[in-house]
């Protein structure tokens, strides 16, 4: 037999519960319910440009200092959210992060006719739409060649350039550049079929200390290759890898903005010797920060330093002394590190 409860009975039950807990509630702090939503990740937007739909993310206050984020190969515009483990620091530095999605990944349809110059055009169109004249640009891993082309074509729109474990499109080509399209399709098709493997980090990587980081990375991999029903189609990945083989690299001689290179000395994907090619291609010698505690995760392990550099605090270094994170001038930071402090936020401990 179905059991029903009258409205009066429900009201009575609610009243009884509230009455029974009233004294207890009165002895506790006044509850606070927020006025605004907390973000669940970088919100996506789109514009029409050059006959195609360009997708981008935009995180932070509209009046914040703009940062253009160019993620690694096979990432979407939401990959910028993988740096939000230091969101509080970013917000205190008043930074706004904008990321324009690349051809064939995530929301963005694949067009085999598009190249570096088209991506540069897309980035400029998004910045124009947002009313951003100049921004800091940070490129991670496979975002390096795109940053180089953007610097060559739009040097006046870069406030500072930050290359973190970034692949330079200069020097000798990678070995895979000699493989056929069929071989590349088979290889990358196998690699991206399981985003957990594609975005896996070694067991000793400090990334495992960040709650939810590896899950977020894997989810972005799934977004890259499956969101529009691609079902792991490697066409966009193969296309991007072939773009990386183009030589000669772009001429960045007109770039006047300061440049910073972040190198993990244990990086096997883009080794220090490979990253050193940036110095040869840039008109001025970059500030190079080398870290012996990092591999191909230096961009995240030392994201706090990158945030400071982008905000104009390149003369400061974040260090953990005792249980407190301090941002110290270079000489003081060096002395602190000599006496047991560790690099970056105390959260890494």
Residue written as tokens 């993310």?
Answer: 57
pLDDT, residue 13, reads 46
Range of the domain at 225: 44-314
Output the pLDDT for position 1: 46
Give the β-pairing of 342-343 and 324-329.
Answer: unpaired
- Residues paired with 109 in a beta bridge: none
Distance CA 165, CA 149 (A): 17
Question: Rounded to an integer, what distance in angstroms lies between the CA atom of residue 167 and that of residue 136?
Answer: 18
CB count within 10 Å of CB 88 equals: 9
22: in domain: no
pLDDT of residue 197: 83
* DSSP string over 157-170: GEEEEEEESPPPS-
Same domain (yes/no): 305, 340: no
| Residue ranges in the chain whose pLDDT is less than 70 | 1-23, 25
Query: Is 346 in the same domain as 305?
Result: no
> Do 191 and 339 have their domain in common?
no
Looking at the structure, tell me whether residues 237 and 329 fall in a common domain: no
Q: Quick one: tokens of 65?
A: 């200092």
Question: How far from chain centre, in Å, is Cα 136?
Answer: 13
Category of 171 on φ-ψ map: left (φ > 0), alpha (ψ -120 to 50) or beta = left
Quick one: 69 and 150 in the same domain?
yes
Of the candidates 263, 281, 259, the residue with the CA atom closest to the CA atom of residue 272: 263
For position 199, what pLDDT does the model report? 83
Task: Identify whether 27 is part of a domain.
Answer: no
Residue pair 173/136 in contact by the 8 Å Cβ criterion: no
Q: Are residues 210 and 224 in the same domain?
A: yes
Give a yes or no: residue 136 inside a domain: yes
The burial class, CB within 10 Å (0-12 / 13-18 / 19+), for 35 is exposed
Listing DSSP states for 204-229 in one string gives: T-GGGGSTTHHHHHHHHHHHHHHTTS
Q: Both 92 and 204 in a single domain? A: yes
- 34 located within any domain: no
Whether residue 330 lies inside any domain: the answer is yes
Residue located via tokens 């083989």 = 245
Cβ neighbours, 10 Å, residue 74: 27
Q: What is the pTM of this model?
A: 0.91
What burial letters (b/e) apply to 213-236, b meaning 16+ CB within 10 Å?
A: bbebbbbbbbbbbeeeebebbbeb
Q: Does 338 share its domain with 293?
A: no
Residues 228 and 103: their CA atoms lie apart, in Å, by 13
CA distances 64 to 39, 137, 191, Å, are 16, 14, 38
Instruction: Give yes or no: residues 260 and 128 share one domain.
Output: yes
92 found inside a domain: yes
Q: Indicate whether 249 and 339 sit together in one domain.
A: no
């Amino acid at each position: 037999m179905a059991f029903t409860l009258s409205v009066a009975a429900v009201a009575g039950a609610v009243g009884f519960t509230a009455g029974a807990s009233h004294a207890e509630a009165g002895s506790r702090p006044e509850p606070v319910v927020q006025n605004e939503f907390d973000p669940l990740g970088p919100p996506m937007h789109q514009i029409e440009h050059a006959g195609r739909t360009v997708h981008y993310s935009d995180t932070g206050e509209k009046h914040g200092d703009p940062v253009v984020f160019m993620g690694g190969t096979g990432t979407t515009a939401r990959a910028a959210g993988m740096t939000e483990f230091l969101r509080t620091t970013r917000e205190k530095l008043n930074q706004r992060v904008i990321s324009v999605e690349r051809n064939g990944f995530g929301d963005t349809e694949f067009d085999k006719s598009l190249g570096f110059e088209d991506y540069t055009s897309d980035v400029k169109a998004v910045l124009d739409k947002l009313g951003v004249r100049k921004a800091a640009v940070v490129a991670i891993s496979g975002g390096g060649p795109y940053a180089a082309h953007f610097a060559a074509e739009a040097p006046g729109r870069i406030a500072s350039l930050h290359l973190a474990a970034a692949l330079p499109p200069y020097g000798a080509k990678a070995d895979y550049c000699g493989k056929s399209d069929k071989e590349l399709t088979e290889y990358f098709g196998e690699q991206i079929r399981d985003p957990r493997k594609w975005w896996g980090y070694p067991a000793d990587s400090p990334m495992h200390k960040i709650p939810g980081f590896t899950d977020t990375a894997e989810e972005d991999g799934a977004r890259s290759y499956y969101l529009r029903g691609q079902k792991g189609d490697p066409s966009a990945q193969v296309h991007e890898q072939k773009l990386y083989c183009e030589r000669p690299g772009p001429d960045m001689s007109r770039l006047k903005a300061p440049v910073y290179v972040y190198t993990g000395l244990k990086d096997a994907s883009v080794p220090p010797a490979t990253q050193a090619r940036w110095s040869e291609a840039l008109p001025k010698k970059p500030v190079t920060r080398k870290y012996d505690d990092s591999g191909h995760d230096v961009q995240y392990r030392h994201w706090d330093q990158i945030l400071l550099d982008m905000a104009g605090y390149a003369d400061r270094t974040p260090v953990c002394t005792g249980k407190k994170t301090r941002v110290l001038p270079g000489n003081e930071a060096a002395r602190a590190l000599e006496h047991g402090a560790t690099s970056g936020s105390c959260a890494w401990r």
